Amino acid sequence: MVIHMNYFKKRNGKWHLSLTGKEAVCGLLFILPFLIGFFLIFLPLIVESLKFSFSDMQVGTEGYTLTKTSHSGFGHYVRAFAVDPDFNLMLLSGIGQILIQVPLVLIFSFFAANLLNQKFHGRTVARSIMFLPVIISSGVVIALEHSDLLVNTLNTTTDLSGGELSSYLNVMGFLTEYTSLPDSVISVLSRAVNGLYDIVIASGVQILIFLAGLQSISPSLYEASSMEGATQWENFWKITFPMISPLILVNSVYTVIDLFTNENNEIMREIKRTIFTEVDYGFGSAMAWIYFVCIALLLLVIGGVISKHVFYYDER
């Protein structure tokens, strides 16, 4: 009855949708394509993948058949954890890299969004350039990148051998040869330089989200704070950062999923190789489900930690 009164109202003896009801219908229509795609296409594939992970699949001319063997049941999962010598190492290495890359991507994207939110000539062009990596990292461009186009070009225009060219392009080799820095410092610097490209490539969407959040902050908050004698530094920590904190949670979740499912990810490549090259659908599906559970647990931990410090502004 409460739902009936909220979504409908009686006018001239007839029931009509109230404003709340119309908003609910619009919201339902907005998510309807996702619901149709999820329940009719995506969910059946998830169920089939789960079945594959507990069975052995034989592919023939008439389709595939699921059989029960010694590797069936939890055998594929036991093989992934206790038999395969590389999967556990790749999984731990991937999670460790994610824990390092996510803060770097968030810090860089938040810093870039603050710069792009300032008023200066060419701001629109600068924003387009910062979002350009999102376009570059998809489609034909990424395929050209993976084909080592730069290395192939340099090989045809120089007399350097493959080993010498790799050393020439290697940051660590360059720093070792031309500087007297300690090995530990060189290692940190080389990782930072080599990872800068990946950080920029992975920050396009996050910059856009942070920028939209910064532009949604009411200028009156800064005006009132400045009238009270607050500095720019205090405005940042007392206004900007709390108001943008919900988007930090959103970008954290997005970044974790984006990095975990990136085609450059070592575990993703191993899963694809197992399924499509070795044609071992059962073991590949088991690895994929283990990977999925690890992502879900990591998202729960990150979401739980960040959500405790999220500030939601209520204008009422």
- Per domain, the residue ranges of the chain are 1-41, 84-137+202-316
Q: CATH classification of 84-137+202-316, choosing from 1.10.600.10, 1.10.3720.10, 3.30.200.20, 3.30.565.10?
A: 1.10.3720.10
The DSSP element (H or E) to which 15 belongs, if any, is: strand 14-17
CA–CA gap between residue 148 and residue 163 (Å, rounded)? 15
Residue-level pLDDT at 167: 40
Residue-level pLDDT at 160: 43
Residue-level pLDDT at 163: 43
Cβ-count burial 238-263 (b if 16+ within 10 Å, e if not):
ebbebbbbbbbbebbebbbebbbeee
Within 10 Å of residue 146's Cβ, how many Cβ atoms?
Answer: 10
Distances (CA, A) of 27 to 22, 30, 54, 99, 156: 9, 5, 38, 35, 57
Within 10 Å of residue 170's Cβ, how many Cβ atoms?
Answer: 14
CA–CA gap between residue 246 and residue 242 (Å, rounded)? 8
Residues whose CB falls within 8 Å of the CB of residue 310, separated by 6 or more in sequence, listed in order = 245, 246, 248, 249
The closest alpha carbon to 72, from 59, 89, 53, 85, belongs to: 53
Residue-level pLDDT at 229: 87
CA–CA gap between residue 305 and residue 299 (Å, rounded)? 10
Query: HSE of 9 in the Cβ direction (CA atoms, 13 Å)?
Result: 7
Phi-psi region of 63 (alpha: psi -120 to 50; beta: other; left: phi over 0): left
Intervals of the chain under pLDDT 70: 1-5, 10, 12-13, 69-72, 133-178, 184-195, 313-316
Residue-level pLDDT at 171: 62
Residue-level pLDDT at 44: 92
Side chain identity at residue 242, one-letter code? P
Question: 8-11 and 14-17 as β-strands: parallel, antiparallel, unpaired?
Answer: antiparallel
CA–CA gap between residue 299 and residue 258 (Å, rounded)? 12
